[in-house]
A and B are shown apart, each in its own frame.
Chain A
Amino acid sequence: GQNIDQPTEMTATEGAIVQINCTYQTSGFNGLFWYQQHAGEAPTFLSYNVLDGLEEKGRFSSFLSRSKGYSYLLLKELQMKDSASYLCAVRDSNYQLIWGAGTKLIIKP
């Protein structure tokens, strides 16, 4: 079966750095997405990786290793507004997104 694994919850301190990991086993691979979802709101797109390596976008970076079935989202200079759930999703061979359950990130002052 297809599976996306992420930690359920993480806690970090304002101003610090946090890394959210995602491992996947899917039938085929056509890219990996990270979305941010604040409580009670819709998911919003953060990043996309299809080739191995690091993609940097401001305070957020996303890394992909296809051979290891592994990605991480790195958030730097954490702000209180970064408190949200972070969703990892893989586009499979049918071009459909398979979603992880999300990682709830709690930022403490």
Chain B
Amino acid sequence: TAGITQAPTSQILAAGRSMTLRCTQDMRHNAMYWYRQDLGLGLRLIHYSNTAGTTGKGEVPDGYSVSRANTDDFPLTLASAVPSQTSVYFCASSLLAGGTDTQYFGPGTRLTVL
């Protein structure tokens, strides 16, 4: 079972360019999430989706957009990258069926914006 996959593994991007980070899960989870992780800070939620066709803003949504056309895929787009978006990006998913509702994480994408 693949679980959650992310692509690319790493990327160097020129400021002002656009980029889409890909995330796919094969666990039929309802909810998906995008986080960024920066040194000395906790994981911060960028956007989330509780079910296909719906999305919501997290703590740090500015400069990012998402879509959820189907259950499996949840791409994150940077329309015009800035150096402050240099970070490690993690996609996660959860069943969202109450109880523990554990989030499972993809391997991450390391993005550098120059």
In the complex, A93 has a CB within 8 A of chain B: no
Is A101 a contact partner of B45 (Cβ separation < 8 A)?
no
Q: Which single member of A42, A48, A101 contacts B107 (CB below 8 Å)?
A: A42
Q: Sort chain B's interface into a size bin.
A: 10 to 19
Task: State in angstroms the CA–CA spacing of A102 and B39 once bound together.
Answer: 10
In the complex, B34 has a CB within 8 A of chain A: no
Is A100 a contact partner of B42 (Cβ separation < 8 A)?
yes
Q: Interface with A: B12-20, B74-82, B96-104, which one? A: B96-104
Closest chain B residue, CB of each to CB of A88: B42
Task: State in angstroms the CA–CA spacing of A98 and B58 once bound together.
Answer: 11
Closest chain B residue, CB of each to CB of A100: B42
A42-B90, A42-B105, A42-B108 known; A101 vs B42 contact (CB < 8 Å): yes
Further contacts, 10 of them, CB under 8 A, given A42-B108, A99-B43: A4-B42, A41-B108, A42-B90, A45-B104, A87-B42, A96-B48, A97-B43, A97-B45, A100-B42, A101-B40
CB within 8 Å of A: which residues of B? Answer: 40-45, 48, 58, 90, 100-108
CB within 8 Å of B: which residues of A? Answer: 4, 31, 33, 41-45, 48, 87, 89, 91, 96-102
